[in-house]
Structure formats: C-alpha cells, structure tokens
Structure 1
Amino acid sequence: MRDWLKAFRPASFRGVPFFVDYEDAEGGRRVSVSPIAYSDLHVTEDMGGDVRRFSLSAYVAGDAADINARAFTAALNAPGAATLVLPMGGPVLVRVPRWSLSRERSRAGYVGFDIEFVAAGLPSLPFAAVPGALAIASLITAGIDMIAAATAFRMRDVAPGQAAPSALAAASAASTMTAVADASELPEDKRPAVADAIATITRLAAEPVAQASSIAAAIVSTVGAIADVASPAEAVEAFAVAAVPAGDDVFDLVSAAAFAAGFCQTLAAGDYLSRQDARRARDRISPVVDPVLDALSTGLDVSVNEWLSDIAATAASDLSAVAANRAPLVTVHTEVSLPATALAYALYGDAGRAGELARRNSVATPAAMPISFEAIAP
C-alpha cells in the first residue's frame, strides 16, 4: 500500500517552508460560445488557456511559529514572481494577489494562512508587436505538463540505486540555467525569481526518480521564464550553446529541448533592421534545433519532438515574415572616406543613424568610414 505521508512534497514558497491543510487548483480553457441564429447548433472557439489559480489553507507550527510566520509573511509580501512548491502539484512560478493570517489563543504555536496564488504569466503586455516570440512563449508553457509526463514515463523503471547519472544530469541542467541567465543580462528585478527556481531544481535533483516530472516541469518553465525577459541579442548565443545535449540521460534531453525552444524564442524576439538580418537569424534555427530533434527521437516521447518542431517552425515563419517586410542591405561606394554622420544624413536624412552604420561595418572610428560599406537601403 502506498505511504501517502511520503508521497507528497514538502511545501515552500521563495524557499520558505510551510505546511498545507488543503490545496485547491483551478484552470481551464477560455471558450467563446457563439449561437447560430435559427439553428440548434452553436460555434465554440478556443481562445487560449484560462489563468491558473491556486488556493491554500497553510500553516506554520511549533516553538518557532512566530518567527516562521514572519519569514513566511515576508516571502508572501515580496514583489515579483517566485516558485511555489505544492505537496501534490509540484513547483510552479506564481504571484500572490491576496493572503490572510489567523492566530488563536487556544492554539498557541500555530499560525494559519489563507493564500491565493496565480500563475506568473508574462511580466507585462508589450506594446511593440512580437507575435512570433509571444506564440513561442505560449507553446513553451503549453508543453510543460506534456514533457513532465514524458519524463516520468521514461524514469518509471529506474531503480533509486541506479539514478546517480540522472541526479547529476538534473543538477547539471540547473548549473547550465545559471550560466545562461547570467549571460542573458536579465533585468535586476527578475533575477531573484529565476535564481529561486534554479535552486528548487537543484534541490529536487537529489530525488530524480520520485521527482522526475517536477524536475522536468521546473526546467522547462524556468527556461521559459529566462527567455521571456532575456535581452535577445545577448541571449541568443547562450541559448544556442546550452541547447547542445550534454549526454543521453533523460534530463540532458529535457534541458536541451528547453534551451532549443528558448533559443527560438529569443531569435523571434530580436530586432532585425534589414531583410538579410532576419534571414540570417532564420538560417540559424536548423543547425541548433536539428541535433536536438535527432536526440529526442530516441530518448523521449515523440510528442516532445513534435513540440520542439512546432516551436522551430513558428520561429522560422515569423522571421520569414519579418524579412519580407524589411529593406534589403546594399553596398554603398564613395569616392573618399566620409564621417558616419554625413553618410547617415545623405542616406536617410537622419544623422542619428551614424552609430548604426558604424556598428554594422565594425568601424572603430566613425569619423572616417571606409569608401565601401554596407547599409540598409533608404
């Protein structure tokens, strides 16, 4: 018979432990229902996933209940998203819209909490249209549960005594995430949440069999969180390097798949000024993603392969559309060397684009541009 006391995970938020009396979760799909006039039929349209919400009745208890309650309260009040580990649901990135505390005189040493959490989602709604990057972010989120299930299925026959390679691979994935996050120049206010999620993966890596689905879900969701807020130009190389499978363990493959997806998202989020820039970005997808797809074909469920293929196709399609709407690069020839400001004004009527010309042509001294250089067609 299953030992239910050992089946559940220790609950924590921002790394602060607590106990749970009950946990509620709700979600679903936003379905639009459109009746058809003079008909018994109607049309339903899937408008995307609804907001995931979690409600907890939690508590801290013991001789240090007052100290633990203050620490837990500080974690709940801290700004930004952070990792919530639920006893049955596993880790998830959330925000805290509301909480309340209660204490009774007759229950000294016990402090109760009623808390509402919502899935973190995007940090903000961008005004600049980046449809490809947003679509890929949605695909990454949609794949979390599927990849978690596929990982647990692959780990089902691994004996705990034979799980050392998987524990090492999961810990290595957390280390790689730290390196990618550092290279991606994350905003200061986003770094604590990412660091907290990576620390959770490191802790779960000690039990790679029992926590297989939670580790896989945390890897994919954390990489998605990094890709959402990374500076694309700096992140592209970091994601591309991390997407190379470190080995053939299931967590190596999950990590490679997640980073390949993050690579596609950062490419799609890039700012491409010319047609050739966007095409060059599109041509980078296949060399990075194809080796990962080959590794996934034998190491994980085919659904994971299809998931990454969809992400790569979305990125390629978006970059092709960007390329079609950008001016081409041309080669400009001048009789003598001129300052970049004079050339920018002559080409675009805007001397402020002098820096663009200097950067594109790797010119250290903008006051003396070469007599032959690349520029975006005016």
Structure 2
Amino acid sequence: MSGTISRLAEEYLQASFRGVPFAVVGSGGGNGRNFQIHRYPFRDQVWAEDLGRAPRSYRIRGFLIGPECLAQRDLLVMAAEAQGVGTLIHPTVGAKQCALMRFDWYERDGVMGIVDIEMELVESRDWLGSVITLALDAAIGVAAVAFGSSASSDYASNTLTPYSYGRSVLSAGRAVASLWGAGAVTAIRSPSAWSSALGVLPGNLGRYVGGNGAAIDPDATEDSVLQDLTTNGQVVSANVTGLADAADAMSLAAGILALPESVRSAIADPAGQIAVLTPLVSCSATVLASSAPIGGAIATARTATATLCRQAALLSLSRACGDWQPSSAEDAQAMRLKVGTLLDDEAIIAADNGNDASFQALRSLRAQVLQDLADRGARLPDMITVTRNAALPALVLAQQLYADGSRAPDLIRRADPIHPAFMPTSFEALSS
C-alpha cells in the first residue's frame, strides 16, 4: 500500500486477517448466552434452557488505500474464500481464531485508490493463554508487510528520475544488486546453512545440529534434507540471476525483496536463518563523484539499490526473529541488542535520506521485534555458573542440577566438553 496506511497509523489502528493488513475505522461485537427456548401449549411462560456461552461475533469496518489497494483487496478476497478458520489480529480485541462469515468491499463513487471493507467474523477459538506471544508474532508480520511496501515505494520514488537516463543507469543498479546477491548464494552454501538444515531430523543429533525453534519432521531423512537444500540453493541462484536481468526498477525491487526470503525459506532452523541472513544486512555501493547529470544518476541509483538490499535483508531477519526461540533470558537480550541496533541504524539512514515512509515502518518493525524478544526472554531462566570439584559426566550433572537426566544434551551444548563423560569443572547453564 506504498506506505500510505503506515502514515495513517496515528489516526487509524491496524488489523489483519490471515496476515493481510488493513486499517480499522470502527468495530463492534456480539456476546451473550446460548438459550434454547421451549414453548408449551396453554402456558404463558417459556423455559429458557441455557446451552452455554453464545458464539462471540465481531463486526469490523475498515479500508485499504494507496496504489496497491486493489491488490490488497484481492488478497483479502482470497483469504475470505480460503477453507477453514483464520487468525484475526485486532488492535483492541487481540488475536483470535475466527471464521469469516461475511466480507464486503466497496469502491467509492468517483474516487480512486481507496477501498472500503466490512467483515463479520465468529470466534472459533480464544487463544487467551498465548494471546500476547501470538499477537506480537503476528504484529511482526504486519509490520514487515508495511515496511516492505514502504521500502519498495521509496525506492521507486528515489530512482524514478535516475532510471529515466537509460539502461546504463539501470545496469549500475543491477550490478549492486547482483554483487549483494552473490553473498546470498555464498550464505546458502555455507556450513552453517547445511548444519541448520539438518535441524528438522528427528532424534538426538548432538551438540552441533538442532537449533532454536526448528520444527521436527518425523519423515525427514538425511538424503531428503540435503536434496531439499540443494533444490532451494538452485532457487536462490536463479533469483540472483534474475537480478542481473531485471527489465526495470520495479522488477529489480521485487527481485531484491524476494531474494532474502528465498534464503530464509530454504532453512528450517530460525537460528540458522539469522546466522545466514545477518551478513546480507551489510551492503554498500562504491560511488564516484561526477558533475555530469548521468554520473549523478548512476550514483543515486547505486546508493538507493544498496539501501534496498539492506532493508530487504532486515525484513527477512525480523521475520526469522519472530520464529526464533531463545534458550535463556541472556540469549534474548543479546538478540534484542543485535537486531535493535541494525534496525535503528537503518532507520537513521532512511531519515537522513528523507524516506519518511521507510523510517516510520522501520521504527514500527523495530518496536514489534524488540517487544516480542523481550516477552520471550521474560519467560525464560537466567544463566548461572556451575562449579564442581571434579569433572563429572553430563548425565550426573543433569540429575544433580535439574533432577532430570534428559537435560544432559543442553548441558553438553553449552559447556562444549571434549567428551560428555568429562564435563568442565566450571561452565554456564540454565538456572532452572
């Protein structure tokens, strides 16, 4: 939506259904008890049989605005027609699993670029127990969508005039993107990516495999995992090749935004995703001073392309943080400091360049990511230093510390001993 909804955030609250964002104008709902009325002949009174709580219904009025509002409308239409229930993220109601009963959209007479929407939903499941975690995780997705739209819109605005000089300027932008894309190919082929891909395998794979938040696939094998990673690596290579063949600024921007996501989707372990995406956040363009108009255009195109490359990597990195599961409060705090600094530095660059939409979207994304990591870290134990007089087996230490021998692999991973039967006399471990 080209950052327009982001600029209206102070006036209108944000919501989403099945991950598709929209602005909220007004909301309502229906609550009560589910009574069955029994009527009897020749009796003036009825018997109201209480069958439990009535379904909670929600009525929402909102709008989509901007040059991409019709595309956003089509996404909501597909979400409304999708089978089953979906997740509603509402600024005041929270996160709910709802069935969409009715979805209506209207285009105003004689007005382009805005679509009004109305929807009625019935709650299928209340995630009250995990509503905070889910809402923050979904909020990262909503903020990421807004940031992606703002970054693409600002890139198109900043390069509109330079790219009008001809293909030489476009070639300069493609060269920066291709050089940055080569780093993505290196990342997907790195040992970190290969070891992280094995995190989906079932069983205890030792201290070097398995990360934070990877979903275990019981049907996965070593051959299937390596075959999938090879196939995904070919997809990443094809996306990098597409950057060099981009026909215009919009296709180049779309390719840049898609490349880090293809890298992230190739790795199941969120910790591995973060490891391979972090180097992609660094991207700078070599600019030669020139007084000629076309020289200035080339410099502008190269700088704007490098900025979009960094922003695309930050976008995927933020989504990976939403899936990442820290193992301790210290891990969460360290990640908050790392990601927060990266997002803050890029927001300052956007502000210095006058890209207000990207600046606001970056600040919003930063707030959501840091709040999510803070909430996760608050629920985790702290790190303590364990000291023993002699080198003991990991199983013995796990029983002594936690009364649970199954915690031995975690101790082995943190202490990294030469052999698990001879743990170091002093090492870091979880307090509980």
TM-score by length of 1: 0.61
CA gap 1:203/1:327 in 2 versus in 1, 3 angstroms: closer
Aligned counterpart for 2:161 among listed residues 133, 143, 157: 157
How far apart, CA to CA, are the structure 1 residues paired with 2:147 and 2:60?
23
Q: Does the Cα contact within 8 Å between 1:223 and 1:258 map onto a contact in 2? A: yes
Runs of 4 or more consecutive aligned structure 1 residues displaced over 6 Å after TM superposition? 30-33, 47-51
TM-fit CA distance, 1:221: 3.3
TM-fit CA distance, 1:35: 6.9
Aligned counterpart for 1:305 among listed residues 356, 359, 367: 359
Q: Which residue of 2 aligns with 1:365?
A: 419
Aligned counterpart for 1:178 among listed residues 173, 182, 185: 185
Q: Which residue of 1 aligns with 2:218?
A: none
CA gap 1:332/1:234 in 2 versus in 1, 3 angstroms: same
CA gap 1:280/1:371 in 2 versus in 1, 3 angstroms: same
Aligned counterpart for 1:137 among listed residues 128, 137, 141: 141
How far apart, CA to CA, are the structure 1 residues paired with 2:261 and 2:62?
23
Q: Secondary structure at the match of 1:245?
A: coil
Q: Percent identity?
A: 19
Q: Secondary structure at the match of 1:44?
A: strand
TM-fit CA distance, 1:53: 9.1
Aligned counterpart for 1:331 among listed residues 361, 373, 385: 385
Q: For structure 1, which segment, 270-279 or 129-138, has the greater mean C-alpha deviation from structure 2 after superposition?
A: 129-138
How far apart, CA to CA, are the structure 2 residues paired with 1:270 and 1:262?
12
Q: For structure 1, which segment, 368-377 or 193-202, has the greater mean C-alpha deviation from structure 2 after superposition?
A: 193-202
How far apart, CA to CA, are the structure 1 residues paired with 2:266 and 2:354?
28
How far apart, CA to CA, are the structure 1 residues paired with 2:280 and 2:237?
15
Q: Which residue of 1 aligns with 2:283?
A: 245
CA gap 1:191/1:140 in 2 versus in 1, 3 angstroms: farther
How far apart, CA to CA, are the structure 1 residues paired with 2:63 and 2:380?
31
TM-fit CA distance, 1:362: 2.2
Q: Does the Cα contact within 8 Å between 1:341 and 1:351 map onto a contact in 2? A: yes
Aligned counterpart for 1:354 among listed residues 391, 402, 408: 408
How far apart, CA to CA, are the structure 2 residues paired with 1:353 and 1:344?
6
How far apart, CA to CA, are the structure 2 residues paired with 1:30 and 1:294?
26
How far apart, CA to CA, are the structure 1 residues paired with 2:429 and 2:29?
54
Q: Does the Cα contact within 8 Å between 2:347 and 2:362 map onto a contact in 1? A: yes
Q: Does the Cα contact within 8 Å between 1:133 and 1:266 map onto a contact in 2? A: no
TM-fit CA distance, 1:271: 2.0
Deviation digits for residues 40-59 of structure 1 (CA, Å, limit 9, x no counterpart): xx96256996663999xxxx
1:280 equivalent to 2:287? Answer: no
How far apart, CA to CA, are the structure 1 residues paired with 2:63 and 2:266?
24
TM-fit CA distance, 1:170: 2.2
Q: Secondary structure at the match of 2:347?
A: helix
Q: Does the Cα contact within 8 Å between 2:235 and 2:262 map onto a contact in 1? A: no
Q: Which residue of 2 aligns with 1:226?
A: 263
How far apart, CA to CA, are the structure 2 residues paired with 1:373 and 1:268?
29
The count of corresponding residues between Structure 1 and Structure 2 is 274
How far apart, CA to CA, are the structure 2 residues paired with 1:281 and 1:190?
26
TM-score by length of 2: 0.54
What stretches of structure 2 of length at least 5 have no aligned partner? 1-19, 32-57, 65-71, 79-129, 198-224, 286-301
How far apart, CA to CA, are the structure 1 residues paired with 2:427 and 2:245?
56
TM-fit CA distance, 1:344: 0.5
Aligned counterpart for 1:263 among listed residues 317, 320, 326: 317
In structure 1, give the amino acid aligned to 2:376: V
How far apart, CA to CA, are the structure 2 residues paired with 1:180 and 1:295?
25
Structure number with higher relative contact order (C-alpha < 8 Å, ≥ 6 residues apart): 2
Q: Which residue of 2 aligns with 1:376?
A: 430
TM-fit CA distance, 1:286: 3.0
What stretches of structure 1 of length at least 5 have no aligned partner? 1-26, 56-127
Q: Does the Cα contact within 8 Å between 1:141 and 1:221 map onto a contact in 2? A: no
How far apart, CA to CA, are the structure 2 residues paired with 1:199 and 1:224?
13
1:236 equivalent to 2:274? Answer: yes
Q: Does the Cα contact within 8 Å between 1:173 and 1:251 map onto a contact in 2? A: no
How far apart, CA to CA, are the structure 2 residues paired with 1:47 and 1:369?
60
1:52 equivalent to 2:110? Answer: no
Aligned counterpart for 1:341 among listed residues 395, 399, 418: 395
Q: Considering only aligned residues, what root-mean-square deviation do their CA atoms show, in Å?
A: 3.6
Alignment of 1:100-111 (within 5 A): none
Deviation digits for residues 289-323 of structure 1 (CA, Å, limit 9, x no counterpart): 33323333344722122222222221111111111
TM-fit CA distance, 1:175: 2.2
TM-fit CA distance, 1:358: 1.6
In structure 2, give the amino acid aligned to 1:264: S
In structure 1, give the amino acid aligned to 2:256: I
Q: Which residue of 2 aligns with 1:215?
A: 252
CA gap 1:36/1:328 in 2 versus in 1, 3 angstroms: closer
CA gap 1:330/1:47 in 2 versus in 1, 3 angstroms: farther
Q: Secondary structure at the match of 1:156?
A: helix
CA gap 1:201/1:145 in 2 versus in 1, 3 angstroms: farther
CA gap 1:234/1:28 in 2 versus in 1, 3 angstroms: closer
Aligned counterpart for 1:296 among listed residues 350, 356, 362: 350
How far apart, CA to CA, are the structure 2 residues paired with 1:179 and 1:53?
37
1:315 equivalent to 2:369? Answer: yes
CA gap 1:177/1:370 in 2 versus in 1, 3 angstroms: closer
1:203 equivalent to 2:219? Answer: no
How far apart, CA to CA, are the structure 2 residues paired with 1:302 and 1:30?
19
TM-fit CA distance, 1:29: 5.4
TM-fit CA distance, 1:252: 0.9
Deviation digits for residues 160-179 of structure 1 (CA, Å, limit 9, x no counterpart): 13333212112223323323
